[in-house]
Amino acid sequence: MHDVGGNGDGGDGSVGADLPASGMDQAFLALERELTVLLRRARAKSGEMARAVHPDLESAAYGLLARLDETGRLRATELAAYIGVGKATMSRQLRALEHLGLIAREPDPADGRAWLVHLTEEGRARFRAVRDARRVAYVRQLAGWDRDEVAQLAHLLHQLNRGVES
């Protein structure tokens, strides 16, 4: 059940029996609840966006395309570290993306044993079309928000992501 009142009490005034009802606990309960909803929706949306890039693209691979669009060329190990997966998982995902024609590999000039991964022209075009459509949707969804509120949300999410990375 979603807490309509927004006070973190589950909507019926009760608080979990094992947690004290302090304001700090309520704030973290509300944070947990809203993050759970946000992450569930983000996973579903990630799958939709991945399929919009290519019908056979796994939802987890969408983030790889986003990172490569931001950075250009990266080693697979750098991508794996950024995404938080092992080398074997990254290797499998990169092979699938390469098979779909969305990425390509080239030898790393700084280390002949390593490979750099980058978006192909088709991969970049497909990814950016989906990303741009998503941004239009964000603008529409947040049309009632003040620009400062949007900037504050982006800043707070950045802080949260930095905290999760460390």
pLDDT in tens, 46-88: 899 999 999 999 988 999 999 999 999 999 999 999 888 999 9
User: pLDDT tens digits, residue range 97-130?
Assistant: 999 999 999 999 998 888 999 999 999 999 999 9
pLDDT of residue 11: 47
pLDDT at 18 over 80: no
pLDDT of residue 164: 76
Distance CA 55, CA 67 (A): 20
pLDDT at 1 over 50: no
- Domain range summary for the chain, segments of one domain joined by +: 23-165
Q: From 3.40.640.10, 3.30.1490.20, 1.10.10.10, 2.30.110.10, which CATH number describes the 23-165 domain?
A: 1.10.10.10
pLDDT at 15 over 50: no
pLDDT of residue 35: 93
What φ, ψ does residue 7 adopt, rounded to 5°? -100, 5
What φ, ψ does residue 76 adopt, rounded to 5°? -60, -35
List all residues 6 or more positions away from 122 whose beta carbon is below 8 Å from its beta carbon.
101, 102
**Percent of the chain surpassing pLDDT 70:** 85
pLDDT at 19 over 60: no
